[in-house]
Amino acid sequence: MAIAKLGQVVLDCPDPRALAAFYAEILGGAVEEEGEGDWADLNIPGGQSLGFQKAPGHVPPKWPAPGDSQQFHLDLTVEDLDAAEKGILALGARPLDTEDRARTWRVYADPAGHPFCLCAC
């Protein structure tokens, strides 16, 4: 029997509203802002919600950096890697590891520097 259930994944960032809006464009859903810009929730249809917390001293993870941990990343499943890549780059994502076009996944950073992958389903 489980001790707990996952409530929410939360990303620290300098601008919660902006980062929530970035992921809303990719995943769909509605952004709800709380407080005075220090928290935002992205409620994804039929899925888990993501939280975004203001962290004024936020330092993005380094990728790839064998000596520094990336902490975690999100895997986002897509049907068409090329089309999805075009869309996320237009929203402000930055490529981190996209050279091997034969792979079924590519690595990017969101506008706050968190790594995430597009994975072909």
For residue 2, tell me if it sits in a domain: no
Within this chain, do residues 53 and 74 fall inside the same structural domain, yes or no? no
Residues 6+ apart with CB under 8 A from 119: 75, 76, 77, 78, 104, 105
- Predicted structure pTM score: 0.83
Domain enclosing residue 26, as ranges: 8-57
Within this chain, do residues 64 and 116 fall inside the same structural domain, yes or no? yes
Q: Count up the domains in the chain and report the number.
A: 2
For residue 20, tell me if it sits in a domain: yes
pLDDT of the chain, 121 residues: tens digit per residue: 776 577 788 999 999 999 999 999 999 999 999 888 899 999 999 888 999 999 989 888 887 777 766 667 888 999 999 999 999 999 999 999 888 888 898 999 999 999 999 999 7
8 A C-beta contact, residue 16 and residue 39: yes
8 A C-beta contact, residue 45 and residue 26: no
